[in-house]
Structure 1
């Protein structure tokens, strides 16, 4: 009789896919690029502060999306100047235009793995009287990031990491309205859904009752389905798996619990979140963001009151690599196949005009100016420079191929010569 093998010890040392990824991540770190869209006041900047656990300084004059800002009914007649409450009231009636704001944030996840978070925002999106050009500018920006990678791939000496500005996920903030999703939001999501992984968000969920929130989620799902908007597919992934990074389980025994460990992620989408600027540390030395009301307080990271903790775990943990894989293997490959099929010249990759970080004013002020900020995003050179460089590289490749062909022909003649002499 052969002794039975003890599989228990082997199972204890068997590493899951997520654990293997994280061990590898300890060495080189992780990177994720997030695009946030939504009109002003939807809470994007506060969400980023809660997600990163730090103030990433988006409201420095270039961008202001303060969802905790409360303007009282103050006039000069009651003793206070309007300028003290809202210095920009004189220009409030003007179109804000469309800008591009980017930030790079360095943080560590719950296991200490360094994460580089590239943040992309378009302030003014949906805030103008005429937003018809906003979707065009944003689509061109996404197309240009794909084009930059494709151009780099055909070079002899290439460095795709430096030119890769593709967003891996787009968090689209949809404000709650009695009429459902706005037409502009639907059109923009339809325009970009084949360029980036789309995840719809319902911000400020604490302003809705549970019945109203469930109704609004149903309306958003219905609008997305009817308009054939492609959102990120979570497949059959369970909600409880996302919290493994935080060493947490869904407290299904709680009377307030809305979900259990087997609840599918796609069943709770769109994610309803609550965010706050006030924070403290709990007994486990973890940062908790607190939202205070007259009747009490709410913890943003509480899984029973907000979907924020699930969304954070998805972005920075369980689905980080999958978001990047889908971007590269599905969305980019579809773009690449389409461009290579439609173009007349094999290396004639198109350029797209979009607004850059130096632009101020209306959305019609689009450009591809090259500066230090645009180089970070991988802005293209002019068409003539690109065409010259590409054709130069093609000529060099052809010359190398011809040299090798001549050497092959010479070797074949040398090998054939002894046989001919023997004959």
Structure 2
């Protein structure tokens, strides 16, 4: 557990943000969204990775030949991630989360607990004479919150009335229509001439609250997730987990996951990337093992018997601590939703869920792409194709590296052989010189021992006659 998770919920309150209408947000704890920027920073690296794996559509334009070059000095493009980070922080971020579940499961309380600010005011119960609504309604609330100079436009979409009627047939339809209407609005923005100010109101995550029955998923739960799992990132949550024992929670989680697998329902899983450090991999595995998250929500500050101040619920038999991983999975839910994978949720919504819907929408409208210009493909197939091309690229690079290595080895061996021959030649030359010097010394030694001069004597014979000098 990180230090942020272990921090007291009452420590260090940040400066409040402002609503668009001029009212002021309540002060929020610094620890509630400290890692929003951290979850975004990896987007630049992932974008660079995707760019390196880019595929080219079938056309008359051949892909360029890419070669690897070595820089002779510092250029500066290694600062690109920092530039992306500065621009993102300056622009701010948008995140939309939808909460779905029956009334009384603590949806509003959990949202207030997650973001450590009262987004939802206290609700007043309607009088018995009030006539209940006939259909599911969609309500949304937006707030601008700021933490460590990172601004976030948070939108929470609520679905009051879901599952509260005797006949819940098609109760999922207004929710699905709302999600697709947001896709439509984003598509209209993409089709505008001026796209400089695009607002992303698409739903990036859906927290689905499961009633803690302790048995299996109800038909309405299965039908809802089957209808929406291709349109939104589903995150199943077992509400009010403090009504069950630890053993009951474990068994209920196993039954819920079995139902999800049986009906081929896709729920959001934290992705893993190459070259991830062991700590991140272990953290993702720990989060995945807690799905569906059994949570308890509370914004009430209470004091434990040992004197600690915590967020939780007080019962006659003890205290349930919201931020204690031994009591519930709230910390892991917050870690996955906000501190670790908020950008992953946004990215998966944009690249997969929205693109799949957009493809189906355009095909239904009779729009056909020119295959010589664009190649309309399934995102999953495109990802597989990119992976295959990336693996082929790696194989080619590996072969080139092996060839270069073999050439370097041959050059080194030739150089060593030449040096060896030069050493042998020098050795022979020095040996011949030493042999010659040794022979001369031995000759001088013999002359000394025999009494003969070391050098021949000059002739003293004098010439006679008139030629004598």
Q: Name the counterpart of 1:154.
A: 191
**Displacement, 1:136?**
1.5
The 5 Å alignment of 1:237-276 reads 261=283, 263-276=285-298
In 2 relative to 1, CA 291–281 (structure 1 residues): closer, same or farther, beyond 3 Å? closer
Number of residue pairs matched by the alignment:
287
Q: Give 1:90-239 correspondences, 5 Å limit.
A: 90-91=129-130, 94=132, 97-109=135-147, 111-158=148-195, 161-162=198-199, 164-236=200-272
1:344–1:185: structure 2 CA closer, same or farther, 3 Å change rule?
same
> Could you tell me how far 1:281 is from its partner in structure 2?
9.7
3-state SS in 2 of match to 1:265: helix
Asked whether the 8 Å contact 1:202–1:270 carries over to 2, the reply is: yes
| Cα deviation digits, residues 253-287 of structure 1 (max 9, x gap) | xxxxxxx85743222101111111312699xxx99
SS in 2 for 1:89: coil
3-state secondary structure, aligned to 1:264: helix
Q: Looking at both structures, which has the greater relative contact order when contacts are Cα pairs under 8 Å and sequence separation is at least 6?
A: 1
Change (3 A) 1:241 1:270: farther
Distance in 1, Cα, partners of 2:196 & 2:289:
40
Corresponding residue number in structure 1 for 2:78: none
Pairwise CA distance, 1:59:
4.4
Residue 114 (structure 1) shift? 2.5
Rg bigger for which structure?
Answer: 2
Alpha-carbon RMSD: 3.3
Q: Residue 215 of structure 2 contacts residue 252 of structure 2 at CA under 8 Å; is this kept in 1?
A: no
Where in structure 2 are there 5+ consecutive unaligned residues?
1-39, 44-80, 370-469
Distance change in 2, residues 1:275/1:22 (3 Å)? farther
Deviation of 1:16 (Å): 7.3
Q: Which residue of 1 aligns with 2:70?
A: none
> Residues 181-225 of structure 1: CA distance to partner in whole angstroms, max 9, x if unpaired?
110111011111111100000111111111100001001101111
- Residue in 2 that maps onto 1:51: 114
TM-superposed deviation, 1:26: 3.6
Query: 1:265-312 CA distances to partner (integer Å, 9 max, x unpaired)?
Result: 222101111111312699xxx994121111221221112222111211
What SS does the corresponding residue of 2:224 show, helix, strand or coil? helix
Distance in 2, matches of 1:326 and 1:262, equals: 17
Please say if residues 287 and 336 of structure 2, whose CA atoms lie closer than 8 Å, have aligned partners that are also in contact: no
Does residue 313 (structure 1) correspond to residue 338 (structure 2)? The answer is no
Please state how far the C-alpha of 1:168 moved relative to its aligned partner. 0.2
User: Residues 87 and 266 (structure 1 numbering): CA distance in 2 closer, same or farther, change over 3 Å?
Assistant: closer
Q: Structure 1 stretches of 5 or more lacking a match?
A: 1-14, 62-85, 244-259, 348-423
Describe the SS at the equivalent of 2:312.
Answer: strand
TM-score w.r.t. length of structure 1 = 0.61
SS at match of 1:190: helix
**Counterpart residue number, 1:89:** 128
> Structure 1's 24 and 305: CA in aligned 2 closer, same or farther, altered over 3 A?
farther
CA separation of 1:295/1:190 partners in 2, compared to 1, >3 Å: closer, same or farther? same
CA-CA distance at 1:47 after TM superposition: 0.3
Contact 1:53–1:287 (Cα < 8 Å) also in 2: no
Of 328, 331, 348 in structure 2, the residue corresponding to residue 326 of structure 1 is 348
**Residue number in structure 2 paired with 1:28:** 91
Select which of 306, 309, 320 maps to 1:298.
320
